[in-house]
Structure 1
Amino acid sequence: MGCSSCSTGKDGQPRGCKNNGTCGTDGCNKLTVFDWLSNMSLPNGQKPFDCVEVRFKNSRKEFFKNADNLPLAIGDVVATQAKSGHDVGIVTLTGELVKVQMKKKKVAPDDNEIPKVYRKASQRDIDIWQKCRDKEPEIQKRSREIAISLKLQMKLSDVEFQGDGSKATFYYTAEDRVDFRQLIKDMAKAFGIRIEMRQIGYRQEAQRLGGIGSCGRELCCSTWLTDFRSVSTASARYQQLALNPQKLAGQCGKLKCCLNYELDMYLEALKNFPPQDSKIMTKKGLAFCQKADIFKETLWFSYKDDPATWHALGKDHVLEILEINKKNEKIESLEEYAQDNVSEEKMVFENVVGQDSLTRFDRPRKKKRNNKKRRKNKPNASSNAQ
């Protein structure tokens, strides 16, 4: 998540533009979108789309109308319309792709309620904006202390100032409904600004804060994932995963969103697969399915009287046996169809590329002469000479 100019140096500090997330290329921001139409010109007679996408703190993005036809490009800092006063953000997308994003977010381009872009931010606007951003950690800490003193069952996860510094939005998570009227009064008195409380879910909290997942990469919700679909334990059951909450839960405390990524492939494979509660009737007794592997197309069965001994059967063989059982006929035994004695062919590495040996540049070792043998041969040679 770092562009070539914002990547960190040896001392851990950002080099290049040194904006660390607010660079002009927008390559190191959350949920960034690549403008693949930027080098294409519009057809003759067509006007450029008059809406732009603006990013604010973390992953919050909104659409604004460029009513004054300002020459805006990705990375420009602009002053935008707000409910009261103005806000400051960074342009993340312009042109026809904004229309695609608005359609995806179900926002009508001809809606008159779309806010406007006032102007490109002046140096005074940027100074006020940066000053407010610097105060956010201290205000967040103080607001948490006030919430704890009021014994409110809530967690203040993030604070976002408006660009002109007149209002601050506090994002919080809570299990139940919270009466924070006294909290707003105390914070407005302590900070001297207008307060807005906004409740978010645990997934949205992880999206705003970011982090590293168990896979070693940045969280999907904070990099590219925009819609949060419901994840159930059935997704883990279909993929034959152990229902361990510590492994299946993400940093938000909910089930990982990546459990849905391969679910469609598993459901497609399970359509032509025998059910895992299948029972096979044999002359040796009733057999139950203990395990199934859809990739190897193998099921393991064991007799009711001997559950510790498993027999591996192919998917096609199981379907064939089930058809025989439907006719009220029994097979001899599982051993006839078992794949236990089938030897799998092991893949042996072949040098098909023609690669040379890794030690081809090493100097050959010289053979060491045996000094003991030479010493033994010397007296024999002298005695022969006498």
Structure 2
Amino acid sequence: MSHLIEVAFRGNRKEFFSWDGDAPPPLRAGVIVEADRGEDFGRVHATGELAEVRCAGCAHGCGTAPPPRKALRLATADDERLDRELTAENEQARRMSMERVKANGLVMKLTDAEWQWDRRKLTIYFTADRRVDFRGLVRDLAALFKSRIELKQIGVRDEAKRLGGVGRCGREYCSASWLPDLRPVNLGVAKDQKLSLNPQQISGACGRLMCCLRYEHEFYVQSRRRFPKEGKILLTTRGEEKVIACDIFNERVTLRTVDGDTRVVPLAELKGEMGGAEHS
């Protein structure tokens, strides 16, 4: 019987695999999986119904199609030891690669280096402001490490996801801890939430607008539909009043009369007054 499992690798990279057996492996168990022309080591991140839901909704999922690769077996103690050794070698590989970057005079920042578990491939992640011709660098690195080299350019948000860290809220980055996809965030979502439009105040450690602005946005959009628009003139039992502010959390609306008097009224009461004004 084949089971769908999601496997997590270094740098918060995740992929889906099929597992042949009576039952899926336990969560967090080390597994050896099929990889690009070889094998790789990862840990089980999700199984069963959760894996199926995530596979259908995540950017790295395969939808309703079966995964193209299989998880081969549970990792042994020797496999675990080799993985720990590779963790230390990854940083050494990044530093050695950075020296070759400087020697080639390339303007790029090497974010991370990741050995495939069988050492048949070394993937190097980098950021750059513009396109970089790294063909000469690849040849140098292939001769240096005696392995296949893949250079992968990523954005600054993907860099934060790979490296992890603590945000201004005091918790681990959403992108590194649980957020499945990095969706675009623009100033429009900050406007809808009545936040400061100063990018320094609403940006994360990566320098881009915070991811949390996006997944909170729908709540603000749905909530504001129940409120009158700010600046609109309403006809209430007290006459014409202008909407000054809407407090969606406390269900209150601030109004100002033509004489300049202001008042704060609950939303339910305001709707009753407007209904009464229409019939008076």
TM-score normalized with structure 2 length: 0.78
**For the aligned residues, what is the CA RMSD?**
3.3
Q: Deviations over 1:42-64 (max 9, x none)?
A: xxxxx5x4333222113112222
- The equivalent of 2:56 in structure 1 is 103
Q: Deviations over 1:191-224 (max 9, x none)?
A: 2222111222222211111111111111111111
Whether the aligned pair in 2 keeps the contact of 1:292 and 1:298 (CA below 8 Å) is yes
Task: Give 1:189's match in structure 2, choosing from 135, 143, 147.
Answer: 143
Are 1:298 and 2:253 an aligned pair? yes
Gaps of 5+ in 2: 236-240
Query: How many Å separate the matches in 2 of 1:175 and 1:129?
Result: 33
Query: How many Å separate the matches in 2 of 1:116 and 1:264?
Result: 37
Query: How many Å separate the matches in 1 of 2:211 and 2:133?
Result: 31
Gaps of 5+ in 1: 1-46, 282-286, 325-386
Are 1:90 and 2:39 an aligned pair? no
Closer/same/farther in 2, CA of residues 238 and 123 from structure 1, 3 Å limit? closer
Query: How many Å separate the matches in 1 of 2:247 and 2:71?
Result: 56
Alignment map for 1:288-327 (pairs within 5 Å):
291-294=245-248, 295=250, 297-299=252-254, 301=256, 311-312=262-263, 314=265, 316=270
Report the more deviating stretch, 73-82 or 161-170: 73-82
Whether the aligned pair in 2 keeps the contact of 1:235 and 1:259 (CA below 8 Å) is yes
Query: How many Å separate the matches in 2 of 1:157 and 1:236?
Result: 29
- The equivalent of 2:31 in structure 1 is 78
Question: 1:94: how far off?
Answer: 3.6
Query: How many Å separate the matches in 1 of 2:190 and 2:98?
Result: 37
Closer/same/farther in 2, CA of residues 280 and 89 from structure 1, 3 Å limit? closer
Query: How many Å separate the matches in 1 of 2:192 and 2:65?
Result: 44
Kindly provide the amino acid, as one letter, of the partner of residue 149 in structure 2. Answer: I
Task: Give 2:176's match in structure 1, choosing from 198, 212, 222.
Answer: 222
1 or 2 for the larger relative contact order (CA 8 Å, sep ≥6)?
A: 2
Are 1:51 and 2:25 an aligned pair? no
Alignment map for 1:1-386 (pairs within 5 Å):
49-67=2-20, 72-105=25-58, 106-107=61-62, 111=66, 114-278=68-232, 291-294=245-248, 295=250, 297-299=252-254, 301=256, 311-312=262-263, 314=265, 316=270
Whether the aligned pair in 2 keeps the contact of 1:129 and 1:165 (CA below 8 Å) is no
Query: How many Å separate the matches in 2 of 1:193 and 1:260?
Result: 40
Closer/same/farther in 2, CA of residues 99 and 236 from structure 1, 3 Å limit? closer
Whether the aligned pair in 2 keeps the contact of 1:53 and 1:61 (CA below 8 Å) is yes
Larger Rg: 1
Report the more deviating stretch, 262-271 or 165-174: 262-271
Kindly provide the amino acid, as one letter, of the partner of residue 262 in structure 2. Answer: H
Closer/same/farther in 2, CA of residues 108 and 267 from structure 1, 3 Å limit? closer
Kindly provide the amino acid, as one letter, of the partner of residue 107 in structure 1. Answer: C
Whether the aligned pair in 2 keeps the contact of 1:129 and 1:164 (CA below 8 Å) is no
Q: Which has the higher strand share?
A: 2
Query: How many Å separate the matches in 2 of 1:155 and 1:237?
Result: 33
Closer/same/farther in 2, CA of residues 302 and 153 from structure 1, 3 Å limit? farther
Query: How many Å separate the matches in 1 of 2:32 and 2:219?
Result: 46
Question: 1:296: how far off?
Answer: 5.5
Kindly provide the amino acid, as one letter, of the partner of residue 229 in structure 1. Answer: R
Query: How many Å separate the matches in 2 of 1:123 and 1:180?
Result: 38
Query: How many Å separate the matches in 2 of 1:108 and 1:279?
Result: 49
TM-score normalized with structure 1 length: 0.59
Aligned length: 265
Closer/same/farther in 2, CA of residues 92 and 128 from structure 1, 3 Å limit? same
Question: 1:71: how far off?
Answer: 7.3
Question: 1:171: how far off?
Answer: 1.3
> Does the residue aligned with 2:181 lie in a helix, a strand or coil?
coil
Kindly provide the amino acid, as one letter, of the partner of residue 58 in structure 1. Answer: G
Query: How many Å separate the matches in 2 of 1:125 and 1:136?
Result: 16
Closer/same/farther in 2, CA of residues 69 and 189 from structure 1, 3 Å limit? farther
Q: Deviations over 1:237-276 (max 9, x none)?
A: 1221111111100112111121134333322332243333
The alignment-based identity, stated in percent, is: 36
Q: Which has the higher helix share?
A: 2
